[in-house]
Structure formats: structure tokens, C-alpha cells
Structure 1
Amino acid sequence: MTVVLTGGCACGAIRYECEAKPAVMLNCHCRDCQRSSGGAFAPLVVVQADHFCLRQGVPKYFVSVADSGNTVRRGFCAECGSPLFMSSAALPGYIALKAGSLDDPTLFRPAADLWTHSAQCWDSMNPILPKYEYEPGHPQQKVPEHA
């Protein structure tokens, strides 16, 4: 089923739309996501990039090398600083929308917690979600932890 996801930044300078069923929704606890979100993790809605469309404004991008060794490109509003979306060389053809930037963030339903080896001791993760110390497919990833 196709879903229309809309969102944008806090000041309204940037607006986006994505008409696609999310590939996955997850919480990433890597240090890069902690820094870029300003919190314990980044709640991400992963969608096919070819279904994503900027409707208004021009985001600014910050490119870095993540804990995984992959290049990550994070888009944010240069006016208000709102984090909006990211893409990674690890998932070509996909973009991850920051759940907090959605017009209706109640649509966010995470399926897993990733990079839990970097999770903070004060982070109260949902015990029902599968836990991955790294990302699936990472050489150091073991069988999912179940709390």
C-alpha cells in the first residue's frame, strides 16, 4: 500500500513529500545519529529515494564518514537547523527521513534498534524491539539481542 509522507523543518522553509510504502522504520543509536539528532538515537523512516521529492526550499548538507565506514549525507534546514533526512553509501537508492520532521510523526513504528553497542546508558529502549549491536550485514553483527 502506498503511503504519502509529508514533512519539513520547524520554520517552514523546507517541505518534502514521499509517496511510497516505507522500506523499514528503525531507531539508530550510533554516535553520528546521536550527535545529529541531539538525543539518544535517530528515529528513521527509510524510503526509496526515487519516491522522495523536495517541494520547497533548499536544504544544506553535511557529509561525514559514519562509524560503519560508510559515507553519510545529512540534510537539514540552514535557517532553523532542523534535521530532515539522510542517505548512506550503505543503502544506495534509499533515503532516511527523520521521523520528527514528518507532519504526522505518529506514523512512525520502529521495527528495530540498530547500533545498540553505542547506545547510552540513559537510553530507555523499547524492550520488545529486536536489538542489533551494529547494522544487519555488518561483519561484527551477531544474532539479534532480545530484551
Structure 2
Amino acid sequence: MGHNYTGGCACGAVRYEKPGETVAELLCQCQHCRQRSGTGHSGYLVFADRAGFAVTGVVKTWDIAGDSGNLKHHAFCPNCGTPLFVSFAAAPAMIAIHPGSLDDPAAFAPQFVTYHARGQAWDNLDAGLQKFAAMPG
């Protein structure tokens, strides 16, 4: 059956729902994630497919190429700017939700850290998390 993740933006103009199980829950310390979040890292709940993913309200997106050269599509609320989810040109079925936008952020349980080599010394993450210098294969 799985979990049912719900969430939305800070102003309430956008809502989403995603049933199912994640394939990964992670923190990323790459430069793009730091800049986009305005902090030392970003968090993601990654789903292998978009089955049941529904959005109400209007989102805007901006694109950026990752280290692989493939585009990532970042969706956010055009009213309040809340980052909501990311989709991937190279894996169109996959979706990654930002845990700060969840109704229940405690549902997020990060398993590992990516791009730890690009992390800042002041961004102290859980010492128990496995850390990868870049994106694991």
C-alpha cells in the first residue's frame, strides 16, 4: 500500500499528493542545491515513478544542467517561491519532493548525503549518515 505524502507551498496556492514508497531519501550539498535552498544543502524524497502524483495550483519551473549534463526541472510556487519538487529530463518518470514542503516533514528520513565533498564546514550533518563525495553510481 505505501505512504501517502502530501504537501504544498508556504502561501497555500500549490498543493501536491504522492502515494507510494520512496526509492531514496537524501541530502545534497552540491552548489546548485545550496544556492537554490539558501542553506548548506537540500533534501529530497525520490520516487521511481510519478504514479498518483497530483498537483493543484500553478507551479513555475526553472531548469539547470547537473554534472551529467542532463537537465533538472525545479518546480516552485510562483507566489511565495517555495521549492516543491524536481523532475529529470534523463528519467522522466522519476520525481523528487523537497521535504520542507511536506505537511509532515517528520516523514523524511535521510539515508545518505551526496556531493559531501562540496559541502561547507559550517553545514554539520548527521555523522551517522553515509556520505558520498559526488553522486553515487
Shorter-chain TM-score range: over 0.9
Name the counterpart of 2:51.
50
SS in 1 for 2:7: strand
Which whole-Å CA distance do the structure 2 matches of 1:32 and 1:61 have between them? Answer: 15
- 1:117 equivalenced with 2:117 (yes/no): yes
Which whole-Å CA distance do the structure 1 matches of 2:90 and 2:134 have between them? Answer: 13
Identity among equivalent positions (%) equals: 40
User: Is the CA contact 1:6–1:17 (under 8 Å) kept in the aligned structure 2?
Assistant: yes
- 1:105 equivalenced with 2:105 (yes/no): yes
TM-score, normalized by length of structure 1?
0.87
Name the counterpart of 2:36.
36
Q: RMSD value over aligned CA atoms?
A: 1.2
User: Is the CA contact 1:6–1:18 (under 8 Å) kept in the aligned structure 2?
Assistant: yes
Which whole-Å CA distance do the structure 2 matches of 1:44 and 1:124 have between them? Answer: 17
Higher relative contact order (CA 8 A, sep 6+): 2
Instruction: Please list every run of 5 or more consecutive structure 2 residues that lacks an aligned counterpart in the other structure.
Output: none
User: Is the CA contact 1:32–1:67 (under 8 Å) kept in the aligned structure 2?
Assistant: no
TM-score, normalized by length of structure 2?
0.93
Name the counterpart of 2:63.
63
Amino acid at match of 1:49: R
User: Is the CA contact 1:30–1:67 (under 8 Å) kept in the aligned structure 2?
Assistant: no
Which whole-Å CA distance do the structure 2 matches of 1:73 and 1:117 have between them? Answer: 24
Instruction: Please list every run of 5 or more consecutive structure 1 residues that lacks an aligned counterpart in the other structure.
Output: 138-147
SS in 1 for 2:35: helix
Give the aligned length. Answer: 136
Structure 1 residue runs of 4 or more that deviate by more than 4 Å after TM superposition: none
